[in-house]
């Protein structure tokens, strides 16, 4: 009998009726003789509601307490899902993350899973139970409740699948697979039957929130068979994440377009062009635990240069404060600018490795649309640009067309 892990996201468990529908889906799999572990998210919108509630108590809530609060959303849905299964005559038990010993590090609100003690789950599975685990959470070595970052239930599911050596990890969501780009932005986006692990990792980390990046990393590390499919349609194979090397296969140059709207750009103008300057700017930012994404330094003229980097929009004010208080004087910046009305767009594809001219086609397409690019960064299988948020839709749509993704 094979073990299957099935994860249902927020929209899939958004109401009692939807939870009952999830239970029916799970019951069908269980009655086919599979051992099922279900991972559930909080009801759609619930995590945001809980965060807002915490912020009513203090402006920047203590991360430890924040985790106790936001983890409750998933506890509710896990209990409700178990009840819905029991009501269908299926033996089911729900557990919070710490009960099945999902051990994490101590980084509250963005903890990483270090170990899972799967004995309890295995015992229940062997006794014929469907085990329902609350996603998004674990506990540290001292028993403090931790959460895994937004979208973290995906990671709970993949980590459990790895620990249990499951046959497959199925991520049920509100779309029927991975598309060439977010189908909510571009209606012509096409569903992919498969995507390579490398491409999925780039797509996720560059903003396609259909899977949390950590979940893809886990799948890669432990070779978990990972599939994304629809909660609402009964048919369809979804999209499978493959590990094969597609080097010799016929494949498109660009496989997908990812974007992210919640970044902010900060620039220091007229700083001295000398060794150590990047460290003097980014050192204090790193000390404040702020993640920096893209970094660009211009070629200097007359001994002066400009330095630009991006952070998450939520960190913009904090970063600006650090730059003004701790950095500006020190590095003698003429001016510091910030902009949170930007977006990052990336084209991704393993086919780029063996194709020249991808970048020029991208830049030509954007130029023809009159879209200005402020920052560019490239790697072997992706090209990212920063542009104004208001041109994002036009940019994604025109690139989707230029790279023929609708016929992928
Ligand atoms: P869940 O609540 O099930 O975890 P999410 O909202 O986190 O669901 O992720 C699903 C959403 O991801 C889709 O509704 C879609 O808008 C978005 N998305 C972004 N990029 C893609 C993509 N390339 N393919 C499919 N969905 C995508
Ligand atoms: N409920 C959490 C969130 O909204 C985790 C998840 O849904 O995966 O981010
Ligand atoms: Mg999600």
Domain annotation covers residue 164: yes
Q: pLDDT value at position 60?
A: 84
**C-alpha of residue 250 to centroid of ligand 2, in Å:** 37
Atom number in ligand 2 closest to CA 41: 7
Q: pLDDT value at position 272?
A: 87
- Residue 60 corresponds to which tokens in the numbers above? 């920047």
CATH number at residue 66: 3.40.1160.10
**C-alpha of residue 148 to centroid of ligand 2, in Å:** 9
Indicate the top mutation candidate among 150, 169, 216 to test ligand 2's pocket, ranked by most ligand atoms within 8 A of CB.
150
Is the CB of 97 inside a 6 Å radius of any atom of ligand 2?
Answer: no
Domain annotation covers residue 184: no
Domain annotation covers residue 295: no
> Whose CA is closest to atom 5 on ligand 2?
151
**C-alpha of residue 211 to centroid of ligand 3, in Å:** 6
On whether the CB atoms of residues 348 and 257 are closer than 8 A, the answer is yes
Give the chain's residues under pLDDT 50: none
Domain annotation covers residue 48: yes
Domain that holds residue 96: 3-174
Domain annotation covers residue 181: no
Q: pLDDT value at position 138?
A: 98
**C-alpha of residue 402 to centroid of ligand 2, in Å:** 34
Q: pLDDT value at position 249?
A: 54
Domain annotation covers residue 20: yes
Is the CB of 41 inside a 6 Å radius of any atom of ligand 1?
Answer: yes
Is the CB of 47 inside a 6 Å radius of any atom of ligand 2?
Answer: yes
Domain annotation covers residue 358: no
**C-alpha of residue 48 to centroid of ligand 3, in Å:** 13
Q: How many domains does the chain divide into?
A: 1
On whether the CB atoms of residues 288 and 322 are closer than 8 A, the answer is yes
pLDDT tens, position by position, 159-190: 999 999 999 999 999 999 999 999 999 999 99
Q: pLDDT value at position 274?
A: 82
> Whose CA is closest to atom 8 on ligand 2?
151
> Whose CA is closest to atom 3 on ligand 1?
9
Q: pLDDT value at position 246?
A: 61
Is the CB of 129 inside a 6 Å radius of any atom of ligand 2?
Answer: no
Q: pLDDT value at position 303?
A: 84
**pTM of the predicted model, to two decimals?**
0.92
Q: pLDDT value at position 133?
A: 98
On whether the CB atoms of residues 39 and 8 are closer than 8 A, the answer is yes
Q: pLDDT value at position 245?
A: 66
**C-alpha of residue 229 to centroid of ligand 3, in Å:** 12
On whether the CB atoms of residues 195 and 247 are closer than 8 A, the answer is no
Domain annotation covers residue 359: no
Is the CB of 170 inside a 6 Å radius of any atom of ligand 1?
Answer: no
User: Residue 212 CA: which ligand is closest?
Assistant: 3
């Amino acid at each position: 009998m094979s073990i299957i892990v099935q994860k249902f996201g927020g929209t899939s468990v958004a109401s009692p009726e939807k939870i009952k529908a999830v239970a029916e889906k799970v019951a069908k799999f269980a009655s086919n003789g599979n051992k099922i572990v279900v991972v559930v998210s909080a009801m759609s919108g619930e995590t945001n509601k809980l965060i807002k509630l915490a912020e009513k108590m203090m402006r920047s809530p203590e991360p430890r307490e924040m985790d106790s609060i936001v983890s409750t959303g998933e506890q509710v849905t896990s209990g409700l899902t178990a009840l819905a299964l029991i009501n269908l005559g299926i033996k089911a038990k729900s557990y919070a993350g710490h009960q099945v010993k999902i051990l994490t590090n101590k980084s509250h609100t963005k903890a990483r899973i270090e170990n899972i003690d799967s004995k309890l789950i295995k015992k229940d599975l062997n006794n014929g139970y469907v085990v329902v685990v609350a996603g998004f959470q674990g506990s540290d070595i001292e028993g403090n409740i931790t959460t895994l970052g937004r979208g973290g239930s995906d990671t709970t599911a993949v980590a459990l699948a790895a620990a249990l050596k499951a046959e497959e990890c199925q991520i049920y969501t509100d779309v029927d697979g991975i598309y060439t780009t977010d189908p909510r932005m571009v209606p012509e986006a096409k569903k992919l039957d498969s995507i390579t692990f490398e491409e999925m990792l780039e797509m996720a980390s560059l903003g396609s929130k259909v899977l949390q990046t950590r979940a893809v990393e886990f799948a890669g590390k432990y070779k978990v068979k990972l599939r994304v499919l629809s909660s609402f349609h009964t048919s369809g194979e979804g999209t499978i994440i493959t590990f094969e090397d597609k080097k010799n296969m016929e494949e498109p140059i660009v496989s997908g377009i990812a974007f992210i709207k919640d970044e902010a750009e900060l620039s220091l103008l007229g700083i001295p062009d000398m060794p150590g300057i990047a460290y003097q700017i980014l050192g204090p930012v790193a000390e404040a635990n702020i993640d920096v994404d893209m970094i660009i330094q211009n070629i200097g003229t007359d001994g002066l240069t400009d330095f630009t980097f991006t952070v998450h929009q939520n960190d913009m004010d904090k970063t600006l404060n650090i730059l003004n208080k701790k950095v500006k004087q020190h590095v003698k910046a003429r001016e510091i600018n910030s902009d949170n009305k930007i977006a990052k767009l990336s084209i991704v594809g393993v086919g780029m490795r063996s194709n020249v001219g991808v970048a020029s086609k991208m830049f030509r397409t954007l130029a023809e649309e009159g879209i200005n690019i402020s920052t560019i960064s490239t790697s072997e299988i992706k090209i990212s640009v920063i542009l104004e948020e208001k041109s994002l839709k036009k940019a994604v749509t025109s690139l989707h067309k230029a790279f023929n993704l609708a016929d992928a």
